[in-house]
Homo-oligomer: A and B are copies of this chain.
């Protein structure tokens, strides 16, 4: 359940450089947290990453893992899988539709699109299991957050 070392190593080198560019210190803990994530083909949660990193740094604390995952995602060095960096959101619309998700405020809005109706589940996805539904997720900045930004300038 992990990538070949060559892939991981090249990712790590790119990561180090990206840290330097952004003025983020490359600490031992931070590097191992990144390594754990970059090695995994699934998308582990904080707890899972914590357990992996502990094998290499037994003294690492829970909050260091959380803090670094948050910091790295703020700097765009890693991503959060799925939509919510927040709470659960519910949806009464059970028909096929797609989502626009604001990366700043978490707003989710539905849209439909004829173009997207024709998409069918690609072969590649079948390798992992039996697909049930498919939808598009567009991440972006909503008009509200976009205009706030302008006001600040």
Contacts and interface: CB of A to CB of B under 8 A. Distances in A.
Interface string A48-91: 01000000000000000000010001001111111111111111
Contacts of A110: 41
Interface residues of A, number: 75
A132 B130 CA distance: 29
A88 to B, nearest CB: 6
Interface string A17-33: 00000000000000000
Interface of A: 11, 34, 37-38, 40-47, 49, 69, 73, 76-94, 98-103, 107-113, 115-116, 119, 121-125, 127-146
Task: Count this chain's copies in the assembly.
Answer: 2
Contact of A128 (B73, B116, B128, B142): B142
Given A100-B129, A111-B125, A124-B113, A84 B87 contact: no
A21 to B, nearest CB: 14
Given A136-B135, A138-B131, A83 B86 contact: no
B119 A142 contact: no
Given A82-B99, A116-B122, A129-B142, 6 more contacts: A37-B90, A73-B90, A81-B83, A98-B125, A100-B129, A134-B136
B86 A111 contact: no
B130 A141 contact: yes
